[in-house]
Chains A and B, each alone.
Chain A
Amino acid sequence: MAKEKTNLLQGTLVMLILRTLTSGPLHGYEIAQRIQQSSDDVLRVEEGSLYPALYRMEGQGWIEAEWGASENNRRAKYYSLTRAGRKQLAVETSNWERLREAIARVLQTA
């Protein structure tokens, strides 16, 4: 079940992971790489800290993990988005938009 009330800052980071996984299953290293590359190297995840977040998100049922063979034929853990994860992505995106609009309004009026 998608959470309605979330911490916005943390939610933004979770949103990036969820959004990155919409392109298909990825292992942790690829997720960190994709976030960095997609943001034109503006955003950078401290790579180790990604894993507790992935485990937590897996526990929430937003993503699921599966062991598979990587491109260099090593065993790797791939994460993919669940239906609950897609719902959560919609919630997080909506929260992000509200935050962005609110901040823009404050900056325009201040």
Chain B
Amino acid sequence: MSGMKSMPRGREDAEREIEEELRFHIEMRTRASLAAGMTAEEAKADALGRFGDYESVREACRKISRERLEQQVHLRAIRGFIWVMLGCGLTLRLTGGIETVREVGDLMSWIAVLWRLLLYLRAIRPADRHAGTGEQIALTLSAPSGNETTGAGQSRTPVPAHDQNGRTPVERLLADDERTSQ
């Protein structure tokens, strides 16, 4: 994988990337279904069915992306303010005529350094207005027997997510990983 960081420069750039990513997903799913023997029409319908509501997914991604861009603007503003504060603090410290002014300069410099450190450690960050209200990820349990169907409208019945050893899917993931790492 040759890499280029995903850092959209603006809203239009971000929306173009979202569109490209979602279309790529549908294309990959369509190809897989074609390879499994479906006709082109069936494969496309299956891909769209599995994907869900394309418009609402795209809108949700756009909304999150817009929020992130706003956060980046706020972050840049905070960084700028820190540098101004540090500059003022050092100026007062070095050129202040009386002790009190130099002490104020010291204080401002230390606050700016501390603030930058907290920002670096991600202890402070611009407010995420929608933090904790993340979109629901539809995760379903499919029937364990061989009555699997594909595409939209397939039957999905809740079943216990344990194998014959009583392990959950997560435990199986961890066990598989341990096996492959040995």
Interface positions of A (Cβ within 8 A of B): 1, 7, 10, 12-13, 15-16, 19, 22-23, 25, 27-29, 38-53, 55-56, 58-59, 61, 64-70, 72, 74-78, 84, 93, 96, 100
How far is it, in angstroms, between the C-alpha of A41 and the C-alpha of B28 when the chains are bound? Answer: 18
Q: Which of A27, A38, A69, A96 contacts B176 (CB 8 A)?
A: A38
* B:152-167 near A, CB below 8 Å: 156, 159, 161, 163
User: Are B3's CB and A67's CB within 8 A?
Assistant: yes
User: Are A48's CB and B57's CB within 8 A?
Assistant: yes
User: Are B141's CB and A43's CB within 8 A?
Assistant: yes
User: Are B122's CB and A49's CB within 8 A?
Assistant: no
How far is it, in angstroms, between the C-alpha of A75 and the C-alpha of B28 when the chains are bound? Answer: 12
- Report, as a range, how many residues of chain B touch the other chain: 35 or more
User: Are A77's CB and B6's CB within 8 A?
Assistant: yes
User: Are B122's CB and A51's CB within 8 A?
Assistant: no
Q: Which of A19, A41, A72 contacts B142 (CB 8 A)?
A: A41
Closest CB of chain A to B18's CB: distance in Å?
A: 8
Closest CB of chain B to A85's CB: distance in Å?
A: 12
Interface positions of B (Cβ within 8 A of A): 1-6, 17-18, 20-22, 24-25, 27-29, 31, 50-54, 56-57, 60-61, 64-65, 67-68, 71, 121-123, 128, 132, 134-142, 144, 148, 156, 159, 161, 163, 168-170, 172-174, 176-177
CB-defined contacts of B60 to chain A, threshold 8 Å = 51-52
User: Are A51's CB and B65's CB within 8 A?
Assistant: no
Known: A19-B173, A44-B141. 19 other contacts (CB 8 A): A1-B121, A7-B132, A15-B170, A19-B170, A19-B174, A25-B1, A39-B161, A42-B169, A43-B169, A45-B139, A46-B50, A46-B140, A51-B21, A56-B64, A59-B71, A59-B128, A69-B2, A74-B24, A78-B1
Q: Which of B65, B132, B163 contacts A40 (CB 8 A)?
A: B163
How far is it, in angstroms, between the C-alpha of A26 and the C-alpha of B136 when the chains are bound? Answer: 21
User: Are A49's CB and B52's CB within 8 A?
Assistant: yes
User: Are A53's CB and B137's CB within 8 A?
Assistant: yes
CB-defined contacts of B20 to chain A, threshold 8 Å = 75, 77
Give 10 nearest A-B pairs by CB, closest first.
A46-B138, A68-B1, A48-B52, A65-B6, A48-B57, A52-B60, A52-B135, A39-B169, A55-B64, A48-B51
How far is it, in angstroms, between the C-alpha of A93 and the C-alpha of B168 when the chains are bound? Answer: 12
CB-defined contacts of B51 to chain A, threshold 8 Å = 46-48
A-B contact pairs, 23 of them (CB 8 A): A10-B136, A15-B170, A19-B170, A25-B1, A27-B21, A27-B24, A29-B24, A42-B159, A46-B50, A46-B138, A49-B135, A51-B18, A51-B61, A52-B64, A56-B135, A64-B5, A66-B4, A66-B6, A67-B3, A67-B5, A76-B24, A77-B21, A78-B1
